[in-house]
Amino acid sequence: MPELPEVEVTRLSFAERIRGARVLAAHPGLPLRWPLGCTPESLVGRTVQDVQRRGKYLLLQLDHGVLLVHLGMSGSLGFRTAPAAPGRHDHFDLVTTHGTLRLHDPRRFGAVVWSAGTQVDPARKLLGSLGMEPLGEQFDPAAFHAGLRGRRAPIKQVLLAGDVVVGVGNIYASEALFQAGIRPTVRADRLSRARADRLHAAVRQVLARAVERGGSTLRDFSSATGDSGHFQLEAAVYGRAGQPCPQCATPVRLIRQGQRSTYFCPRCQRA
């Protein structure tokens, strides 16, 4: 599943190229997770003013309204200037004067949704419960610790839930917990302020490094320009069950938490 780094990499790969473009046509394909929320014809003539991100949603700010794009489980966006016929798994085209933005989504769990603004439904409903942005100024250590103190679930699952901090996907949660020296099974409300501060710093560092490395391509992720991510090549524990920990050489352990794979070092992450 594309996580925050992959979504941010996607945004950076086409935001400047589509900014200022006028919409010429919108072509929905097979139904996606949620309906578009407007007629495709009503988007014609609108201008793309900016491309922002909130959590794992891309926000195409138009001169009237906003298009929220979610990549779902298997989606990716491509932006091309040369016309090309849509393929079997291409389910939305936004044709503009600068090129075509195309959503490719084999599993169709993604979405393109129009809203009159971010403070009204459906955008308010989709974005309203999201936690702090880990790469933004609002990601304050004290607020992060306060959010964790209200959660009794294991810290790994709290990171994935998205209501305390948004966009820390499975691979990045495992890597941040390893970097902070925190076992993924410890209850979130039992983390001291000092340990929460270490985790706060690790989350920021891991996600920033992932964006720098173009995200992670575990299966078929690529940016809007077709580039693959490389962060997975330098993961310390994720996907390395049975291999030696890079710090102490203890074999990395794999457990299951909430149907997700969790990787950690039982020696470096004792508590």
Task: Confirm whether 198 is a catalytic residue.
Answer: no
Mean pLDDT calculated for residue range 220-243: 74
C-alpha distances (whole Å) from 15 to each of 18, 98, 140 are 6, 11, 27
Catalytic residue among 46, 56, 108, 195: 56
| Predicted model pTM | 0.90
Q: Write the DSSP string, 50-80.
A: EEEEETTEEEEEESSSEEEEE-TTT-EEEEE
Region 198-205: mean pLDDT is 97
Confidence of residue 124 (pLDDT cuts 50, 70, 90): very high
Burial of residue 270, with CB atoms counted within 10 A of its CB: 0-12 exposed, 13-18 middle, 19 or more buried: exposed
What is the distance between the alpha carbons of residues 28 and 90, in angstroms, rounded to a whole number?
9
Per-residue pLDDT of 138-192, as tens digits, reads 899 999 999 999 999 999 999 999 999 998 989 999 999 999 999 999 999 999 9
pLDDT in tens, 49-67: 999 999 999 999 999 999 9
Q: Which residues touch 68 (CB under 8 Å, ≥6 apart)?
A: 57, 58, 59, 60, 111, 112, 113, 114, 115, 122, 123, 126, 127
Question: How much is the pLDDT for 43?
Answer: 98
Contact 210, 176 (CB under 8 A): no
Q: pLDDT at position 224, please?
A: 57
Go through the chain and tell me how many residues it has.
Answer: 271
- The one catalytic residue in 33, 209, 260, 266 is 260
Catalytic residue among 2, 5, 134, 154: 2
Angle (nearest 5°) at CA 73 between 96 and 69: 30
Active site residue 56: yes
* Residue 221 pLDDT: 53
Q: Are 103 and 92 in contact (CB under 8 A)?
A: yes
Is the pLDDT confidence value at 231 over 80?
no
- DSSP state letter for 250: P
- In the predicted model, what is the mean pLDDT of the chain? 92
Q: Give mean pLDDT, residues 199-220.
A: 83
Query: Known catalytic residue: 125?
Result: no
pLDDT at site 226: 64
Residue with structure tokens 């610790």? Answer: 145
- Tell me the C-alpha distance between 221 and 122, whole Å: 27
Q: What is the pLDDT of residues 6-52, one digit of tens each?
A: 899 999 999 999 999 999 999 999 999 999 999 999 999 999 999 99
**Among this protein's residues, is 3 annotated catalytic?**
yes
Average pLDDT over residues 105-124: 96
Q: Give all domains of the chain, ordered by start, each with its CATH number.
A: 4-127 (3.20.190.10), 141-264 (1.10.8.50)
Span 110-117, average pLDDT: 97
